[in-house]
Structures are given as structure tokens and as C-alpha cells.
Amino acid sequence: GAVVSQHPSRVICKSGTSVKIECRSLDFQATTMFWYRQFPKQSLMLMATSNEGSKATYEQGVEKDKFLINHASLTLSTLTVTSAHPEDSSFYICSAPLRGTGGDYNEQFFGPGTRLTVL
């Protein structure tokens, strides 16, 4: 199956610093990538849709100036958490859709996730 990588897998930073998370589709091109956040014991929450060559689409309640998304190429999207605070500590996961084999649907391939801890 398709592979999506994410880097770093874990990051600890001080409050007020910025953190960049990379999401790459390794063996396929993705014009769209999704960024999710997951707090402990909760489901995935879609933060934004990253579009190659255009601006990202943010979900209601997600601050676009705080969570900067850049979809630089067909295989790379980055999420930068600016001026991170302890409440931003979470598990951040990216995914990229790919048409499923034998069907007319888009299967989501997920990156391994990034555990962000802001002290």
C-alpha cells in the first residue's frame, strides 16, 4: 500500500517556540493532504485541508495564523505550530487520499503521527 511519512515522530519544545512537522507521500502524489489533531482518548479532529499550489482550508475554530500550512509540492505538506503553548500539546497526524484499488473511493493513508509536548 501507499506510504506516508511524518517527521519528527516526537518533539518537546518550550512555550513560545515554533515547531514544524513534515508530511510526505513516499510513493504517490497527493494534491490534497489532511492534518488532524488527536487529544488523549478522543477521536481525530480535522484541522485543515492542505492543497498543493493553493491556500489551505481550515476547519472552524482552527487559527490559520497559529497553524501555518504549506503544501510545497505534490509529495510534501508542512504544518508549523507557531508560538506553541502547553494546550497545543497533542498528537498530530497527517493523511493523504489515494483512490482505492478496485473501487471508486479515496482511502486515507495516514502518517505515523507526531507527538508534540509543549513545556
State which residue, 58 or 110, has the beta carbon closest to another protein: 110
We find the least distance from the C-beta atom of residue 56 to another protein, in angstroms, to be: 14
Q: Which of 88, 52, 54, 48 is nearest to 68 (CA)?
A: 48
We find the least distance from the C-beta atom of residue 9 to another protein, in angstroms, to be: 10
Point out which residues bind another protein (CB under 8 A). Answer: 1, 34, 42-46, 91, 93, 95, 100, 103, 105-113, 115
State which residue, 12 or 105, has the beta carbon closest to another protein: 105
Yes or no: say if 53 and 105 are a contact pair by the CB < 8 Å rule.
no
Strands (E), 60-110: 67-73, 76-81, 90-99, 106-110
